[in-house]
Protein backbone atom coordinates (compact mmCIF):
# COMPACT_ATOMS: atom_id res chain seq x y z
CA UNK A 1 0.00 0.00 0.00
CA UNK A 2 1.38 3.40 -0.92
CA UNK A 3 2.45 5.82 1.78
CA UNK A 4 -0.22 8.25 0.57
CA UNK A 5 -2.94 5.71 1.38
CA UNK A 6 -1.47 5.00 4.82
CA UNK A 7 -1.15 8.71 5.52
CA UNK A 8 -4.88 9.21 4.95
CA UNK A 9 -5.81 6.61 7.54
CA UNK A 10 -6.62 7.70 11.07
CA UNK A 11 -8.40 6.54 14.17
CA UNK A 12 -11.55 8.32 15.29
CA UNK A 13 -10.68 11.14 17.69
CA UNK A 14 -14.16 11.09 19.22
CA UNK A 15 -13.20 8.00 21.24
CA UNK A 16 -11.32 8.40 24.51
CA UNK A 17 -8.70 5.86 23.45
CA UNK A 18 -8.01 3.13 20.91
CA UNK A 19 -9.44 0.40 23.16
CA UNK A 20 -12.83 2.13 23.20
CA UNK A 21 -12.73 2.39 19.41
CA UNK A 22 -11.79 -1.27 19.03
CA UNK A 23 -14.70 -2.13 21.31
CA UNK A 24 -17.13 0.01 19.30
CA UNK A 25 -15.97 -1.54 16.04
CA UNK A 26 -16.70 -4.99 17.44
CA UNK A 27 -13.08 -6.09 17.36
CA UNK A 28 -12.78 -7.40 20.92
CA UNK A 29 -14.30 -10.78 21.72
CA UNK A 30 -12.04 -11.92 24.54
CA UNK A 31 -9.02 -10.48 26.35
CA UNK A 32 -6.78 -10.72 29.34
CA UNK A 33 -7.64 -8.34 32.20
CA UNK A 34 -9.51 -5.62 30.35
CA UNK A 35 -8.92 -2.59 32.53
CA UNK A 36 -5.18 -3.25 32.67
CA UNK A 37 -5.07 -3.69 28.90
CA UNK A 38 -7.07 -0.51 28.36
CA UNK A 39 -4.61 1.43 30.55
CA UNK A 40 -1.66 -0.13 28.73
CA UNK A 41 -2.94 0.94 25.31
CA UNK A 42 -3.77 4.45 26.56
CA UNK A 43 -0.24 4.89 27.91
CA UNK A 44 3.21 5.07 26.37
CA UNK A 45 3.91 3.18 23.12
CA UNK A 46 4.19 -0.59 23.43
CA UNK A 47 5.33 -3.32 21.05
CA UNK A 48 2.70 -5.87 20.03
CA UNK A 49 2.36 -8.60 17.43
CA UNK A 50 0.10 -10.85 15.41
CA UNK A 51 1.18 -14.06 13.71
CA UNK A 52 0.27 -15.30 10.24
CA UNK A 53 1.05 -18.86 9.21
CA UNK A 54 1.97 -19.57 5.55
CA UNK A 55 -0.55 -22.34 4.94
CA UNK A 56 -1.50 -20.88 1.52
CA UNK A 57 0.03 -18.55 -1.05
CA UNK A 58 -2.18 -15.65 0.05
CA UNK A 59 -3.91 -14.15 3.04
CA UNK A 60 -7.72 -14.00 3.04
CA UNK A 61 -10.43 -11.81 4.57
CA UNK A 62 -10.05 -13.33 8.01
CA UNK A 63 -6.44 -12.16 7.99
CA UNK A 64 -7.54 -8.70 6.85
CA UNK A 65 -9.36 -8.29 10.16
CA UNK A 66 -6.03 -8.82 11.93
CA UNK A 67 -4.08 -6.55 9.57
CA UNK A 68 -6.47 -3.66 10.10
CA UNK A 69 -6.43 -4.24 13.85
CA UNK A 70 -2.62 -4.00 13.75
CA UNK A 71 -2.91 -0.79 11.77
CA UNK A 72 -5.41 0.77 14.20
CA UNK A 73 -3.06 0.04 17.10
CA UNK A 74 -0.15 1.48 15.12
CA UNK A 75 -2.16 4.65 14.45
CA UNK A 76 -2.57 4.91 18.21
CA UNK A 77 1.22 5.12 18.52
CA UNK A 78 2.13 1.50 19.20
CA UNK A 79 4.77 -0.58 17.39
CA UNK A 80 3.54 -3.61 15.42
CA UNK A 81 5.45 -6.77 14.69
CA UNK A 82 4.11 -8.75 11.74
CA UNK A 83 5.16 -12.35 12.29
CA UNK A 84 5.07 -14.83 9.42
CA UNK A 85 5.49 -18.35 10.74
CA UNK A 86 8.25 -19.94 8.75
CA UNK A 87 8.46 -22.70 11.38
CA UNK A 88 4.86 -22.97 12.58
CA UNK A 89 3.83 -23.03 8.92
CA UNK A 90 5.81 -26.26 8.58
CA UNK A 91 3.67 -27.81 11.33
CA UNK A 92 0.23 -26.20 11.17
CA UNK A 93 -2.17 -25.57 14.04
CA UNK A 94 -4.76 -28.29 14.63
CA UNK A 95 -7.86 -28.26 12.46
CA UNK A 96 -11.14 -29.51 13.96
CA UNK A 97 -11.49 -32.68 11.90
CA UNK A 98 -8.28 -33.95 10.31
CA UNK A 99 -4.51 -33.60 10.10
CA UNK A 100 -3.11 -30.87 7.93
CA UNK A 101 -1.13 -31.81 4.85
CA UNK A 102 2.47 -30.94 5.58
CA UNK A 103 3.85 -28.74 2.82
CA UNK A 104 7.44 -28.91 1.64
CA UNK A 105 10.02 -26.56 3.09
CA UNK A 106 10.44 -24.95 -0.33
CA UNK A 107 6.70 -24.27 -0.65
CA UNK A 108 6.46 -22.83 2.85
CA UNK A 109 9.47 -20.58 2.18
CA UNK A 110 7.78 -19.26 -0.98
CA UNK A 111 4.57 -18.61 0.91
CA UNK A 112 6.47 -16.82 3.69
CA UNK A 113 7.81 -14.36 1.12
CA UNK A 114 4.36 -13.94 -0.44
CA UNK A 115 2.64 -13.27 2.89
CA UNK A 116 5.35 -10.89 4.05
CA UNK A 117 4.86 -8.76 0.95
CA UNK A 118 1.11 -8.66 1.57
CA UNK A 119 1.41 -7.74 5.24
CA UNK A 120 3.89 -4.96 4.48
CA UNK A 121 1.24 -3.13 2.44
CA UNK A 122 -0.96 -2.51 5.47
CA UNK A 123 1.58 -1.15 7.94
CA UNK A 124 3.92 1.80 8.01
CA UNK A 125 7.62 1.05 8.31
CA UNK A 126 8.55 4.70 8.81
CA UNK A 127 8.06 7.33 11.49
CA UNK A 128 8.33 7.14 15.27
CA UNK A 129 6.67 3.74 15.64
CA UNK A 130 7.64 1.77 12.53
CA UNK A 131 6.47 -1.78 11.97
CA UNK A 132 8.89 -4.67 11.78
CA UNK A 133 8.54 -8.04 10.01
CA UNK A 134 9.76 -11.15 11.84
CA UNK A 135 9.94 -14.86 11.05
CA UNK A 136 9.82 -17.46 13.82
CA UNK A 137 12.13 -19.71 11.82
CA UNK A 138 14.89 -17.35 12.96
CA UNK A 139 14.73 -18.67 16.54
CA UNK A 140 13.56 -22.24 15.92
CA UNK A 141 15.71 -23.39 12.98
CA UNK A 142 18.69 -24.17 15.22
CA UNK A 143 16.74 -24.93 18.40
CA UNK A 144 17.76 -28.33 19.77
CA UNK A 145 14.96 -30.68 20.80
CA UNK A 146 16.44 -31.14 24.27
CA UNK A 147 16.66 -27.38 24.79
CA UNK A 148 13.07 -26.96 23.60
CA UNK A 149 11.81 -29.62 26.00
CA UNK A 150 13.85 -28.29 28.94
CA UNK A 151 13.27 -24.56 28.41
CA UNK A 152 9.74 -24.53 27.04
CA UNK A 153 8.09 -27.90 27.53
CA UNK A 154 8.68 -27.92 31.29
CA UNK A 155 6.33 -24.94 31.69
CA UNK A 156 3.33 -26.71 30.13
CA UNK A 157 0.94 -29.17 31.76
CA UNK A 158 -0.49 -31.85 29.48
CA UNK A 159 -3.85 -31.76 31.25
CA UNK A 160 -4.33 -28.10 30.39
CA UNK A 161 -3.14 -28.66 26.81
CA UNK A 162 -5.70 -31.43 26.34
CA UNK A 163 -8.51 -29.07 27.31
CA UNK A 164 -7.80 -26.64 24.46
CA UNK A 165 -10.81 -26.55 22.14
CA UNK A 166 -8.98 -27.54 18.96
CA UNK A 167 -7.14 -30.37 20.70
CA UNK A 168 -10.24 -31.66 22.50
CA UNK A 169 -12.21 -31.67 19.24
CA UNK A 170 -9.55 -33.76 17.54
CA UNK A 171 -9.18 -36.17 20.46
CA UNK A 172 -12.91 -36.85 20.22
CA UNK A 173 -12.77 -37.39 16.45
CA UNK A 174 -11.96 -40.54 14.52
CA UNK A 175 -8.78 -38.89 13.21
CA UNK A 176 -7.26 -38.26 16.62
CA UNK A 177 -4.31 -35.84 16.76
CA UNK A 178 -0.62 -36.29 16.05
CA UNK A 179 2.12 -35.09 18.37
CA UNK A 180 3.13 -32.71 15.56
CA UNK A 181 -0.10 -30.72 15.72
CA UNK A 182 -0.36 -31.18 19.49
CA UNK A 183 2.98 -29.40 19.86
CA UNK A 184 1.84 -26.35 17.87
CA UNK A 185 0.64 -24.49 20.96
CA UNK A 186 4.12 -24.71 22.49
CA UNK A 187 5.68 -23.24 19.34
CA UNK A 188 3.26 -20.30 19.26
CA UNK A 189 3.84 -19.66 22.95
CA UNK A 190 7.57 -19.68 22.28
CA UNK A 191 7.03 -16.96 19.65
CA UNK A 192 5.54 -14.62 22.25
CA UNK A 193 8.35 -15.39 24.70
CA UNK A 194 11.03 -14.71 22.08
CA UNK A 195 9.39 -11.47 20.97
CA UNK A 196 9.08 -10.40 24.59
CA UNK A 197 12.78 -11.03 25.12
CA UNK A 198 13.94 -9.49 21.83
CA UNK A 199 11.61 -6.51 21.45
CA UNK A 200 9.84 -6.12 24.81
CA UNK A 201 6.63 -7.22 23.08
CA UNK A 202 3.81 -7.22 25.64
CA UNK A 203 0.65 -7.85 23.60
CA UNK A 204 -0.48 -10.46 21.10
CA UNK A 205 -3.61 -10.16 18.98
CA UNK A 206 -5.38 -12.80 16.91
CA UNK A 207 -8.68 -14.43 16.17
CA UNK A 208 -10.72 -15.70 19.10
CA UNK A 209 -10.36 -19.24 17.71
CA UNK A 210 -6.67 -18.88 18.61
CA UNK A 211 -7.39 -17.88 22.19
CA UNK A 212 -5.92 -21.03 23.70
CA UNK A 213 -2.67 -20.41 21.87
CA UNK A 214 -2.66 -16.72 22.77
CA UNK A 215 -2.96 -17.34 26.50
CA UNK A 216 -0.43 -20.13 26.19
CA UNK A 217 2.05 -17.40 25.35
CA UNK A 218 1.03 -15.14 28.22
CA UNK A 219 1.29 -18.07 30.64
CA UNK A 220 4.72 -19.07 29.34
CA UNK A 221 6.08 -15.54 29.78
CA UNK A 222 4.65 -15.39 33.29
CA UNK A 223 6.31 -18.69 34.23
CA UNK A 224 9.61 -18.15 32.42
CA UNK A 225 10.10 -14.43 33.06
CA UNK A 226 7.76 -13.61 35.93
CA UNK A 227 6.17 -10.88 33.80
CA UNK A 228 2.57 -10.04 32.97
CA UNK A 229 1.70 -9.54 29.31
CA UNK A 230 -1.58 -9.32 27.44
CA UNK A 231 -3.61 -10.77 24.60
CA UNK A 232 -6.95 -10.14 22.99
CA UNK A 233 -8.93 -12.02 20.39
CA UNK A 234 -11.15 -10.59 17.68
CA UNK A 235 -14.49 -12.33 17.08
CA UNK A 236 -14.99 -14.77 14.27
CA UNK A 237 -17.20 -12.87 11.87
CA UNK A 238 -20.40 -14.51 10.73
CA UNK A 239 -23.20 -13.20 8.58
CA UNK A 240 -26.57 -12.31 10.09
CA UNK A 241 -28.09 -15.42 8.51
CA UNK A 242 -25.58 -17.60 10.33
CA UNK A 243 -23.41 -18.42 7.31
CA UNK A 244 -19.65 -18.12 7.45
CA UNK A 245 -18.27 -14.75 6.43
CA UNK A 246 -15.46 -14.46 3.90
CA UNK A 247 -16.51 -17.06 1.38
CA UNK A 248 -18.26 -16.76 -1.98
CA UNK A 249 -19.71 -19.87 -3.63
CA UNK A 250 -17.85 -21.87 -0.99
CA UNK A 251 -14.46 -20.38 -1.90
CA UNK A 252 -12.31 -18.14 0.27
CA UNK A 253 -11.95 -14.49 -0.70
CA UNK A 254 -8.20 -14.04 -1.08
CA UNK A 255 -6.23 -10.78 -0.95
CA UNK A 256 -4.05 -11.86 -3.88
CA UNK A 257 -5.65 -10.55 -7.11
CA UNK A 258 -4.47 -13.65 -8.99
CA UNK A 259 -6.55 -15.83 -6.66
CA UNK A 260 -9.60 -13.57 -6.25
CA UNK A 261 -9.89 -10.94 -8.97
CA UNK A 262 -10.57 -7.32 -7.98
CA UNK A 263 -13.91 -7.61 -9.82
CA UNK A 264 -14.96 -10.67 -7.81
CA UNK A 265 -13.63 -9.00 -4.66
CA UNK A 266 -15.75 -5.89 -5.31
CA UNK A 267 -18.82 -8.00 -6.07
CA UNK A 268 -18.42 -9.87 -2.79
CA UNK A 269 -18.69 -6.61 -0.85
CA UNK A 270 -21.43 -5.01 -2.97
CA UNK A 271 -23.60 -8.06 -2.22
CA UNK A 272 -23.39 -7.56 1.55
CA UNK A 273 -26.77 -7.90 3.24
CA UNK A 274 -28.39 -4.81 4.77
CA UNK A 275 -28.25 -6.49 8.18
CA UNK A 276 -24.45 -6.87 7.94
CA UNK A 277 -23.22 -3.79 6.11
CA UNK A 278 -22.83 -1.43 9.09
CA UNK A 279 -20.82 -4.01 11.02
CA UNK A 280 -18.61 -4.55 7.97
CA UNK A 281 -18.00 -0.79 7.66
CA UNK A 282 -16.87 -0.75 11.28
CA UNK A 283 -14.40 -3.61 10.89
CA UNK A 284 -13.05 -3.14 7.38
CA UNK A 285 -12.90 0.63 6.84
CA UNK A 286 -11.39 3.65 8.51
CA UNK A 287 -14.62 5.64 8.24
CA UNK A 288 -15.43 7.56 11.40
CA UNK A 289 -18.23 6.70 13.78
CA UNK A 290 -20.25 9.66 12.48
CA UNK A 291 -19.82 8.56 8.86
CA UNK A 292 -20.77 4.97 9.62
CA UNK A 293 -23.84 6.06 11.56
CA UNK A 294 -24.84 8.20 8.58
CA UNK A 295 -24.62 5.18 6.29
CA UNK A 296 -26.56 3.16 8.84
CA UNK A 297 -29.35 5.72 8.57
CA UNK A 298 -29.29 5.40 4.79
CA UNK A 299 -29.73 1.64 5.11
CA UNK A 300 -32.76 2.30 7.29
CA UNK A 301 -34.31 5.04 5.17
CA UNK A 302 -33.45 4.01 1.61
CA UNK A 303 -32.10 0.47 1.55
CA UNK A 304 -32.88 0.12 -2.17
CA UNK A 305 -30.16 2.65 -3.00
CA UNK A 306 -27.53 0.40 -1.38
CA UNK A 307 -25.37 3.42 -0.61
CA UNK A 308 -23.70 1.67 2.32
CA UNK A 309 -22.82 -1.36 0.21
CA UNK A 310 -21.37 0.83 -2.52
CA UNK A 311 -19.24 2.69 0.02
CA UNK A 312 -18.10 -0.53 1.66
CA UNK A 313 -17.19 -2.16 -1.66
CA UNK A 314 -15.27 0.91 -2.80
CA UNK A 315 -13.38 1.39 0.47
CA UNK A 316 -12.26 -2.22 0.90
CA UNK A 317 -11.46 -2.85 -2.77
CA UNK A 318 -9.47 0.38 -2.97
CA UNK A 319 -7.70 -0.54 0.27
CA UNK A 320 -6.68 -4.02 -0.91
CA UNK A 321 -6.26 -3.54 -4.67
CA UNK A 322 -5.97 0.22 -5.15
CA UNK A 323 -8.42 2.88 -6.37
CA UNK A 324 -7.78 2.13 -10.05
CA UNK A 325 -8.76 -1.53 -9.63
CA UNK A 326 -11.83 -0.53 -7.61
CA UNK A 327 -12.94 1.86 -10.35
CA UNK A 328 -12.30 -0.78 -13.01
CA UNK A 329 -14.58 -3.17 -11.11
CA UNK A 330 -17.32 -0.54 -10.99
CA UNK A 331 -16.91 0.23 -14.69
CA UNK A 332 -17.02 -3.47 -15.58
CA UNK A 333 -20.26 -4.05 -13.68
CA UNK A 334 -21.86 -1.03 -15.35
CA UNK A 335 -20.71 -2.07 -18.82
CA UNK A 336 -21.96 -5.62 -18.42
CA UNK A 337 -25.46 -4.29 -17.80
CA UNK A 338 -25.42 -1.88 -20.72
CA UNK A 339 -24.48 1.25 -18.79
CA UNK A 340 -20.96 1.62 -20.12
CA UNK A 341 -18.64 0.70 -22.96
CA UNK A 342 -17.53 -2.91 -22.90
CA UNK A 343 -14.72 -2.04 -25.32
CA UNK A 344 -13.25 0.27 -22.69
CA UNK A 345 -12.61 -2.63 -20.30
CA UNK A 346 -9.17 -4.17 -20.47
CA UNK A 347 -8.87 -7.87 -21.30
CA UNK A 348 -8.07 -9.01 -17.75
CA UNK A 349 -10.93 -7.08 -16.14
CA UNK A 350 -13.49 -8.35 -18.64
CA UNK A 351 -12.22 -11.92 -18.31
CA UNK A 352 -12.49 -11.68 -14.51
CA UNK A 353 -16.01 -10.29 -14.74
CA UNK A 354 -17.18 -13.01 -17.10
CA UNK A 355 -15.70 -15.65 -14.82
CA UNK A 356 -18.37 -14.68 -12.27
CA UNK A 357 -21.32 -15.51 -14.56
CA UNK A 358 -22.37 -18.65 -16.49
CA UNK A 359 -19.89 -19.18 -19.28
CA UNK A 360 -19.54 -21.16 -22.49
CA UNK A 361 -17.05 -21.42 -25.31
CA UNK A 362 -17.52 -21.99 -29.01
CA UNK A 363 -16.03 -21.74 -32.47
CA UNK A 364 -16.26 -18.53 -34.48
CA UNK A 365 -19.30 -19.75 -36.41
CA UNK A 366 -21.33 -20.81 -33.34
CA UNK A 367 -24.84 -19.33 -33.36
CA UNK A 368 -26.11 -16.98 -30.71
CA UNK A 369 -28.99 -19.38 -30.10
CA UNK A 370 -26.53 -22.18 -29.31
CA UNK A 371 -24.58 -19.92 -26.94
CA UNK A 372 -27.80 -19.03 -25.12
CA UNK A 373 -28.46 -22.74 -24.59
CA UNK A 374 -24.88 -23.55 -23.65
CA UNK A 375 -24.79 -20.79 -21.00
CA UNK A 376 -28.20 -21.70 -19.63
CA UNK A 377 -29.88 -18.43 -20.54
CA UNK A 378 -32.45 -20.52 -22.43
CA UNK A 379 -33.37 -24.17 -22.17
CA UNK A 380 -33.63 -24.89 -25.90
CA UNK A 381 -32.85 -23.49 -29.32
CA UNK A 382 -36.55 -22.85 -29.82
CA UNK A 383 -36.74 -20.80 -26.62
CA UNK A 384 -33.62 -18.93 -27.72
CA UNK A 385 -35.18 -17.98 -31.04
CA UNK A 386 -38.39 -16.86 -29.36
CA UNK A 387 -36.45 -14.72 -26.87
CA UNK A 388 -34.57 -13.07 -29.74
CA UNK A 389 -37.82 -12.52 -31.63
CA UNK A 390 -39.27 -10.79 -28.59
CA UNK A 391 -36.31 -8.40 -28.53
CA UNK A 392 -34.98 -9.58 -25.19
CA UNK A 393 -31.48 -10.79 -26.09
CA UNK A 394 -28.33 -8.66 -26.28
CA UNK A 395 -24.79 -9.54 -27.30
CA UNK A 396 -22.16 -7.03 -26.23
CA UNK A 397 -25.02 -4.65 -25.39
CA UNK A 398 -26.43 -4.75 -28.93
CA UNK A 399 -29.93 -6.16 -29.42
CA UNK A 400 -29.86 -9.39 -31.39
CA UNK A 401 -32.01 -9.68 -34.51
CA UNK A 402 -30.95 -13.08 -35.85
CA UNK A 403 -30.69 -15.96 -33.37
CA UNK A 404 -28.97 -18.26 -35.87
CA UNK A 405 -26.16 -15.85 -36.72
CA UNK A 406 -22.83 -15.89 -34.89
CA UNK A 407 -21.91 -12.88 -32.71
CA UNK A 408 -21.14 -10.01 -35.08
CA UNK A 409 -18.44 -8.32 -33.00
CA UNK A 410 -16.24 -9.71 -30.26
CA UNK A 411 -14.63 -7.74 -27.46
CA UNK A 412 -10.83 -8.08 -27.56
CA UNK A 413 -11.35 -10.48 -30.44
CA UNK A 414 -12.74 -13.28 -28.25
CA UNK A 415 -15.42 -12.26 -25.74
CA UNK A 416 -19.20 -12.14 -26.14
CA UNK A 417 -21.32 -10.79 -23.29
CA UNK A 418 -24.79 -12.29 -23.47
CA UNK A 419 -27.70 -10.67 -21.69
CA UNK A 420 -31.33 -11.68 -21.43
CA UNK A 421 -33.54 -8.79 -20.42
CA UNK A 422 -32.00 -6.25 -18.07
CA UNK A 423 -30.29 -8.40 -15.47
CA UNK A 424 -29.54 -11.98 -16.58
CA UNK A 425 -25.95 -12.30 -17.81
CA UNK A 426 -23.69 -14.93 -19.30
CA UNK A 427 -20.43 -14.89 -21.16
CA UNK A 428 -18.81 -16.73 -24.02
CA UNK A 429 -15.24 -17.09 -25.19
CA UNK A 430 -15.03 -17.58 -28.95
CA UNK A 431 -12.09 -19.47 -30.37
CA UNK A 432 -10.82 -19.21 -33.91
Cα–Cα distances in angstroms (integers) from residue 141 to residues 71, 105, 135, 166, 195, in the given order: 29, 12, 10, 26, 16
Q: Are residues 64 and 157 in the same domain?
A: yes
* 352 domain-assigned: no
* 112 domain-assigned: yes
Q: Are residues 199 and 297 in the same domain?
A: no
- What is the spatial distance between Cα 93 and Cα 102, in angstroms, rounded to a whole number? 11
Which of 186, 212, 234 represents a domain boundary (last residue)? 234
The pLDDT of residue 1 is 66
CB 41 within 8 A of CB 78: yes
* 186 domain-assigned: yes
Q: What is the CATH number of the domain that holds 18?
A: 3.40.50.620
* 77 domain-assigned: yes
Q: Are residues 271 and 223 in the same domain?
A: no
Radius of gyration for the alpha carbons in the chain, expressed in angstroms and rounded:
26
Cα–Cα distances in angstroms (integers) from residue 374 to residues 367, 369, 404, in the given order: 11, 9, 14
Q: Are residues 281 and 146 in the same domain?
A: no
- What is the spatial distance between Cα 428 and Cα 394, in angstroms, rounded to a whole number? 13
Which of 279, 311, 340 represents a domain boundary (last residue)? 340
The pLDDT of residue 105 is 93
* 350 domain-assigned: no
Q: What is the CATH number of the domain that holds 320?
A: 1.10.240.10
* 240 domain-assigned: no
The mean pLDDT values, 10 residues at a time, for the chain of 432 residues are 81 97 98 97 98 95 97 98 94 74 91 97 96 96 88 83 78 79 87 97 95 93 96 94 82 94 96 97 98 98 97 98 95 90 90 92 93 96 95 94 92 94 92 78
Domain count, the chain: 3
Kindly give the pairing relationship between strand 30-31 and strand 79-84: unpaired
The pLDDT of residue 2 is 62
The pLDDT of residue 98 is 73
* 345 domain-assigned: no
Q: Helices 61-75 and 274-284: crossing angle, nearest 10°?
A: 50
* 117 domain-assigned: yes
Q: Which domain does 262 fall in, by range? A: 247-340
Q: Are residues 195 and 167 in the same domain?
A: yes
Question: What backbone phi and psi angles, to 5 degrees, belong to 65?
Answer: -55, -45
Cβ-based burial of 43 (10 A; exposed 0-12, middle 13-18, buried ≥19): exposed
Q: Are residues 226 and 254 in the same domain?
A: no
Q: Are residues 328 and 385 in the same domain?
A: no
Q: Are residues 292 and 423 in the same domain?
A: no
Q: Are residues 256 and 219 in the same domain?
A: no
**pTM, two decimal places:** 0.91
- What is the spatial distance between Cα 262 and Cα 327, in angstroms, rounded to a whole number? 10
Q: What is the CATH number of the domain that holds 382?
A: 3.10.290.10
Which of 179, 199, 234 represents a domain boundary (last residue)? 234
Q: Are residues 79 and 223 in the same domain?
A: yes
Q: Are residues 181 and 274 in the same domain?
A: no
Q: Are residues 19 and 129 in the same domain?
A: yes
Amino acid sequence: MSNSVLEKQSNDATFDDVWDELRWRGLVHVSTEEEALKRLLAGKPITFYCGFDPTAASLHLGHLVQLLTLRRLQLAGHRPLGLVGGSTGLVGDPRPTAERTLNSRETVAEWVTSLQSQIERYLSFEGENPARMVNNLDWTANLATIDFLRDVGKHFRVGAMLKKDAVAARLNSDAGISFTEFSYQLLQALDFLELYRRYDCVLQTGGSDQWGNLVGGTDLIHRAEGASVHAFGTPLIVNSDGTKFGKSEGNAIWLNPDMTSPYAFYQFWINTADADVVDRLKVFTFLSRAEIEEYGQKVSDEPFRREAQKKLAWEVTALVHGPDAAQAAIDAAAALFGQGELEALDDATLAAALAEVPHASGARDVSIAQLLVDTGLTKSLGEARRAVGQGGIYVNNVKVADADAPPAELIHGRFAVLRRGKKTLAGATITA
